[in-house]
Amino acid sequence: MKKMPSLAAASGDPFYVFRDELENKVLAVRQKYAQWRTILEATDSPATKNLPALTHQIEGAVTTAEKSVKFLEETIVMVEANRAKFEHIDAAEIASRKAFVAATRKELRAVSTEISAEAVKSRIRQEERKLMQKSTTSLRSNLSEHNRNKRFLKEETQRQQQVMQEQDQSLEGLHTDITRLHNVTVEISSEVQQQNKMLDELTNDVDEAQERMNFVMGSLSKFLKTKDTCQLGLILFLMAVLVIMVFLVVYT
């Protein structure tokens, strides 16, 4: 139980100010130490991974508290060396302060001794190796996953490039076929137009020949005074034979 301050505290004695600060530090050590003991006694608890870090925290807290104990002890020495100046602090108060400092130092040393025992150090090294192995395994797993993702992205990129190349080749082939088909269509269209022109010319020639034939037949009809087509045809045939015979006689 915390001792009630005497007249020394009321007179502005710094001991009690620094003692309150020290007690807060010791309380923090006790809390961390209790948590540390619980983890240390557990064998398969997931919390054992926190043992190394918690041990280092306790070591730091004990070191800080011991510095405060030393400073508090120096205030007692100062009071003893200047009894005339601190005559309001009696021997019983000084003894009480020394007892508090001694008890606090003993408690801190007990905690420090326990957390620095060889068995505890071995356990901490074991937990640190486990953490390192887990960290290494996790790192390797992450690297492996990263490599798999990188390889997948590379393969996917190559596949996409190959698909795009095949599509480009298909488009080029399609463009070539379309161009060839267009050229053939143009040639066919030109040929059809030319044949249509020739047919038109032939039709015109036939019409013109028909008109001439009709004119000749009409003239012969008037000349021979007959409209019998058969007779006119026979006459024309005989005339053609006569022309051929004359040609043969003249040129043979």
CA 161 to CA 197: how far, in whole Å? 53
**Letter string b/e over residues 201-213, b meaning 16 or more CB atoms within 10 A of that residue's CB:** eeeeeeeeeeeee
CA 76 to CA 105: how far, in whole Å? 15
**Residue 18: closest CA among 90, 81, 79, 67:** 67
CA 11 to CA 77: how far, in whole Å? 18
Is there a contact between 66 and 74 (Cβ–Cβ < 8 Å)? no
- pTM of the predicted model as reported, rounded to 2 decimal places: 0.47
Q: Please give the radius of gyration of the chain, using alpha carbons only, rounded to the nearest integer.
A: 63
- DSSP string across 203-245: HHHHHHHHHHHHHHHHHHHHHHT---HHHHHHHHHHHHHHHHH
Cα torsion 178, 184, 190, 194 to 10°: value is -160
Q: How high does pLDDT run on average in the chain?
A: 78
Per-residue pLDDT tens digits for 180-207:
777 877 787 788 888 888 888 877 777 7
CA 97 to CA 89: how far, in whole Å? 11
Report, as an integer, the average pLDDT of 113-141.
72
Is there a contact between 235 and 224 (Cβ–Cβ < 8 Å)? yes
Residue 145 has pLDDT above 90, yes or no: no
Residue 83 banded pLDDT, cuts 50, 70, 90: confident
Q: What is the model's pLDDT at position 43?
A: 67
CA atoms within 13 A of residue 229's CA, in its CB half-sphere: 2
Give the domains, in start order, of the chain with CATH numbers: 10-132 (1.20.58.90)
CA 138 to CA 213: how far, in whole Å? 109
Instruction: Please tell me the least confidently modeled range out of 137-141, 185-189, 236-240.
Output: 137-141
Residue 25 amino acid letter: K
Q: Which residue has the higher pLDDT, 210 or 26?
A: 26
Angle between helices 51-81 and 118-224 (to 10 degrees): 140
Which percentage of the chain shows pLDDT scores above 70?
A: 75
Report, as an integer, the average pLDDT of 52-80.
89
